């Protein structure tokens, strides 16, 4: 029998983790081969290679321990890729040469697939003087645009990319521009952004006090702290960014605060790291460790948990020695501190199987207990490794034990560390597990609640047809196996029904025992008031969280969480709506109303003429076709291709605003041009801007960068059907959802975060 609990699990394995040769022929014949490959590779640094390979295999078997995707896909393949997931790059110097040295390092890291984080607070603000050149600085946002373009280049070259995180301190003079940067849908698409919030700032917010914006010891201006906080809240209320990182709390709790200072995180926020910091990730699957699920004796097997954690820590420690690194500085940093990030997945399913409602006080208490047990087992396992292999090189017992995080640890663990040292400076982290959770049988992701208990997934077959298959949550399938299709108990709650404050409670319970941080999304209903929304962030601060990420579905972010009791049949062509879906393209009428626009690209001899024609359906005007012409014959092939492709998309209906977004995001490596007072990165971006201008003028779009007037995902769907999210850029299914701080596709596992 297959080890896979669901068809989707095997499909994810085959697509993302199965080792294949260059022409796609599988080398891993089975999932057992994959486990053997990983176990053997990570046992290579051991004296008893065969013995440890068997123990590592036993931990991997049946998806009990889930190394992160880069380890699962890369270990034992001899490919020149890093098995580390997360990097924070070096401190950006406030000089042109230093900035572009950092850009080069970022490109090399992303080329190997690492996600990176940067603190842009070190770059002088816009308008500041630049000594020696009689010019004013362009500010950190302009250089973020350069990083964004670099990331697109790496992606367009066919390399697997990681995502990027940009942070900025709450006292930087350009913080207000940083807060609103993502309101432009075409800008900084490769970045997640978060504000570094200090303790002093939170005190100023609560006290409604003034707040100085400072750089280089110079106060540029003073604002009201509460108004600045409200601006952060308004942007994340509207656009789901920026996130909030409580940076002083992170540094105070950091085990290594005696030898490093943290100012940035990896893209999903679970790894606060110093300059050139690197971390690898892995998760214990709690859903596989529940004995007698849904029975009277249902409980988490803590003895099995302790044994599994000890083996997992050893495996992850070995990755430090087995992995390649894009930069030598990253290798030195990893070897000096041997940081690992052991986390969990399947928490919500485990709670369900022991009969506890996620978000309840009992669930928070169990989370505290289980995560405490993992932390204790991990630290003791690392002490044992220190006895055998030595402590991490920068270990210093007294300042290490004096850190905020270690104050919470059991006294016998502290005594053991004091006597023997510890192999790994930090050990625990709750990372995004969206894809590996699907691969493990659709267990609940990380510490998130279950998103949907069952849904129908459309699967593209080799012949081009689509079949449908039911995807069932792991715990729900266990319930069905025991009780058939009976009603689920009342304690089965989901992301749709959970109060935001219950999310915060669960994150805070887990944070107590996580020495790094947590990647989690706090789902908020669309109709949550702004004041209630702000209360979520204040509760996260008050309850000891290290950061906070929310998602409120709306016309901008996408209506991911809307579920209705009933749905009427959808006609093949729906009239009287701003958004239509058509199974076949409409025939072209004899005459259409349209407009022709002229675009004169600087340094080009001939102008480009763009004609956009519209169709009227149900009294509403929408784009139907486009014609792009130029006398420049060098443009002939691509203008014809664009004409045909864009027109084909327009004639299919649906959400066509992505055409604008994709065109505006294209940059020319030879350089763009200034047009109408704005920097346009390419001719294609200029064409995208014209199409957007036309859509706004005809009422199809509300405004520049604002998307469709009505949300194509807001139609009612039946209970049991998956809540529809934005279309996945990889597989096209409407299965994108915000999980663990990252837009992720449940159908194919595609993730914005790499």
Separation CA 182–CA 170 (nearest Å): 17
The per-residue pLDDT for 142 is 93
E strands, 124-163, where?
129-130, 135-136
Whether 631 and 606 have beta carbons less than 8 Å apart is answered as yes
Separation CA 126–CA 128 (nearest Å): 6
pLDDT of 589 strictly over 80: no
Confidence band of 461 (pLDDT split at 50, 70, 90): low
Separation CA 111–CA 157 (nearest Å): 9
Q: If you average pLDDT over residues 542-565, what whole number do you get?
A: 72
The per-residue pLDDT for 654 is 67
Q: Which residues of 571-586 are buried (b: 16+ CB within 10 A; e: fewer)?
A: eeeeeeebbbbeeeee
The per-residue pLDDT for 749 is 66
Q: Give me the catalytic one of 85, 255, 257, 266.
A: 266
**For 365-396, how does the pLDDT look when each residue is reduced to its tens digit (9 = 90+)?**
999 999 999 999 999 999 999 999 999 999 99
Q: Is residue 742 annotated as part of the catalytic site, yes or no?
A: no
The per-residue pLDDT for 719 is 36
The per-residue pLDDT for 227 is 98
Residue 745 bridge partners (DSSP): 736
Q: How many CB atoms lie within 10 A of CB 485?
A: 7
3-state helix, strand, coil in the chain (%, to 5): 40, 20, 45
pLDDT of 31 strictly over 60: yes
The per-residue pLDDT for 708 is 45
Which tokens go with 224?
A: 């009201």
Separation CA 119–CA 90 (nearest Å): 9
Question: What 3 state SS string does 312-369 have?
Answer: HHHHHHHHHHHCCCCCHHHHHHHHHHCCEEEEEECHHHHHHHCCCCCCCHHHHHHHHH
Q: If you average pLDDT over residues 654-681, what whole number do you get?
A: 76
Residue with tokens 């790094």: 516
Separation CA 680–CA 345 (nearest Å): 43
Mean pLDDT over all residues of the chain? 86
Whether 480 and 469 have beta carbons less than 8 Å apart is answered as no
**For 207-241, how does the pLDDT look when each residue is reduced to its tens digit (9 = 90+)?**
999 999 999 999 999 999 999 999 999 999 998 89
Whether 180 and 164 have beta carbons less than 8 Å apart is answered as no
Separation CA 264–CA 250 (nearest Å): 10
Q: Is residue 306 annotated as part of the catalytic site, yes or no?
A: no
The per-residue pLDDT for 285 is 98
**For 706-742, how does the pLDDT look when each residue is reduced to its tens digit (9 = 90+)?**
554 433 333 333 334 444 556 565 555 666 777 777 7
pLDDT of 440 strictly over 50: yes
Separation CA 651–CA 302 (nearest Å): 58
Q: Give me the catalytic one of 86, 151, 268, 279.
A: 268
**For 467-510, how does the pLDDT look when each residue is reduced to its tens digit (9 = 90+)?**
778 889 999 999 999 999 899 999 999 887 899 999 999 999 99
Q: In 3D, which of 59, 737, 82, 31 has the Cα closest to residue 432?
A: 737
Cα distances (Å, whole numbers) of residue 233 to 64, 75, 195, 372, 395: 39, 42, 11, 32, 40
For the ranges 133-147, 307-321, 563-577, which has the lowest average pLDDT? 563-577
For the ranges 125-134, 156-165, 605-614, 685-694, which has the lowest average pLDDT? 156-165
The per-residue pLDDT for 655 is 67
pLDDT of 309 strictly over 90: yes
The per-residue pLDDT for 24 is 85
Helices 530-542 and 500-511 pack at an angle, to 10 degrees, of 20
Whether 446 and 520 have beta carbons less than 8 Å apart is answered as yes
Q: 1-80+277-519, what's its fold?
A: Anaerobic Ribonucleotide-triphosphate Reductase Large Chain (3.20.70)
Q: If you average pLDDT over residues 62-72, what whole number do you get?
A: 94
For the ranges 282-286, 433-437, 661-665, 690-694, which has the lowest average pLDDT? 661-665
Separation CA 469–CA 21 (nearest Å): 29
**For 151-204, how does the pLDDT look when each residue is reduced to its tens digit (9 = 90+)?**
877 764 444 556 799 999 999 999 999 999 988 877 888 899 999 999 999 999
Q: If you average pLDDT over residues 137-163, what whole number do you get?
A: 76
Q: What percent of the chain has pLDDT over 70?
A: 86
Q: Is residue 285 annotated as part of the catalytic site, yes or no?
A: no
Separation CA 656–CA 668 (nearest Å): 23
Residue with tokens 């214990």: 284
pLDDT of 263 strictly over 90: yes
The per-residue pLDDT for 556 is 67
pLDDT of 585 strictly over 60: no
Q: If you average pLDDT over residues 292-304, what whole number do you get?
A: 96
Q: Give me the catalytic one of 260, 270, 448, 740.
A: 270
The per-residue pLDDT for 36 is 97
Whether 90 and 276 have beta carbons less than 8 Å apart is answered as yes
Q: If you average pLDDT over residues 260-268, what whole number do you get?
A: 94
Tell me which range, 130-134, 238-242, 254-258, is most confidently predicted by mean pLDDT.
254-258
The per-residue pLDDT for 134 is 61
Helices 96-111 and 140-156 pack at an angle, to 10 degrees, of 30
Which tokens go with 115?
A: 């996600």
């Amino acid at each position: 029998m297959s080890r896979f609990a669901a068809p989707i699990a095997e499909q994810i394995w085959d697509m993302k983790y199965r080792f294949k040769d260059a022409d796609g022929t599988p080398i891993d014949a089975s999932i057992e081969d994959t486990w053997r490959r990983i176990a053997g590779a990570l046992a290579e640094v051991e004296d008893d290679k065969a013995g440890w390979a068997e123990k590592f295999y036993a931990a991997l078997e049946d998806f009990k321990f889930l190394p992160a995707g880069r380890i699962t896909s890369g270990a034992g393949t001899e490919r020149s890729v890093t098995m580390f997931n997360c990097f924070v790059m070096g401190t950006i110097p406030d000089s042109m040469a230093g900035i572009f040295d950092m850009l080069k390092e970022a490109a090399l890291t992303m080329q190997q697939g690492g996600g990176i984080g940067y603190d842009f607070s070190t770059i002088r603000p816009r308008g500041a003087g630049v000594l020696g050149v009689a010019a004013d600085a362009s500010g950190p946002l302009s250089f973020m645009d350069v990083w964004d373009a670099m990331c697109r280049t790496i992606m367009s070259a066919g390399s697997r990319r990681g995502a990027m995180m940009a942070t900025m301190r709450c006292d930087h003079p350009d913080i207000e521009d940083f807060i609103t940067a993502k309101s432009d849908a075409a800008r900084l698409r490769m970045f997640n952004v978060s504000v570094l919030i200090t303790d002093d700032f939170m005190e100023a917010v609560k006290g409604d006090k003034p707040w100085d914006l400072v750089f280089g010891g110079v106060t540029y201006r003073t604002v009201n702290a509460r108004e600045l906080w409200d601006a952060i809240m308004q942007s994340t209320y509207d656009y789901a960014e920026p996130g909030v990182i409580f940076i002083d709390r992170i540094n105070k709790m950091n085990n290594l605060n005696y030898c490093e200072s943290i100012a940035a995180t990896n893209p999903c926020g679970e790894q606060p790291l110093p300059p050139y910091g690197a971390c690898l990730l892995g998760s214990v699957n709690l859903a596989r460790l529940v004995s007698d699920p849904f029975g009277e004796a249902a409980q988490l097997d803590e003895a099995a948990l302790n044994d599994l954690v000890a083996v997992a820590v050893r495996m992850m420690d070995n990755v430090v020695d087995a992995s390649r690194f894009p930069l030598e500085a990253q290798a030195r940093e990893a070897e000096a501190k041997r940081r690992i990030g052991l986390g969990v997945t399947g928490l919500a399913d485990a709670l369900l199987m022991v009969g506890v409602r996620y978000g309840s006080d009992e669930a928070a208490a169990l989370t505290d207990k289980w995560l405490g047990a993992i932390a204790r087992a991990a630290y003791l396992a690392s002490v044992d490794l220190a006895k055998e292999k030595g402590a991490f090189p920068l270990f210093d017992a007294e300042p290490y034990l004096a850190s905020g995080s270690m104050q919470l640890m059991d006294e016998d663990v502290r005594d053991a560390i004091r006597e023997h040292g510890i192999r790994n400076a930090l050990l625990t982290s709750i990372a995004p597990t969206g894809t590996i959770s699907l691969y493990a049988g659709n267990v609940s992701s990380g510490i998130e609640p279950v998103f949907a208990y069952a849904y129908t997934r459309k699967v593209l077959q080799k012949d081009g047809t689509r079949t449908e298959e039911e995807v069932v949550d792991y715990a729900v399938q266990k319930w069905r196996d025991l009780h058939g299709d009976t009603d689920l108990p009342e304690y089965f709650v989901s992301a749709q029904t959970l109060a935001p404050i219950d999310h915060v409670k669960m994150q805070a319970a887990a944070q107590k025992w996580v020495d790094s941080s947590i990647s989690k999304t706090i789902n908020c209903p669309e109709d949550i008031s702004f004041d209630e929304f702000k209360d979520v962030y204040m509760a996260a601060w008050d309850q000891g969280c290290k950061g906070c990420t929310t998602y409120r579905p709306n016309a901008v972010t996408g209506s991911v969480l809307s579920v209705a009791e009933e749905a009427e049949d959808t006609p093949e062509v729906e009239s009287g709506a701003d958004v239509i879906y058509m199974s076949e393209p409409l025939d072209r009428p004899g005459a259409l109303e349209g407009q022709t626009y002229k675009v004169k690209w600087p340094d080009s001899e001939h102008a480009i003429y763009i004609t956009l024609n519209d169709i009227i359906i149900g009294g509403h005007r929408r784009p139907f076709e486009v014609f792009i012409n130029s006398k420049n014959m060098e443009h002939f092939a691509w203008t014809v291709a664009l004409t045909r492709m864009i027109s084909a998309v327009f004639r299919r209906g649906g959400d066509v605003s992505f055409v604008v977004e994709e065109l505006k995001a294209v940059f020319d490596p030879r350089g763009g041009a200034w047009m109408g007072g704005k920097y346009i990165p390419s001719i294609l971006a200029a064409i995208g801007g014209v199409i957007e201008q036309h859509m706004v003028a005809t009422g199809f779009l509300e405004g520049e960068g604002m998307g469709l007037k009505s949300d194509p995902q807001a139609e009612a769907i039946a209970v049991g059907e998956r809540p529809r999210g934005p279309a996945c850029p990889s597989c096209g299914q409407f299965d994108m959802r915000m999980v663990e701080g990252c837009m992720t596709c449940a159908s194919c596992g595609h993730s914005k975060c790499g």
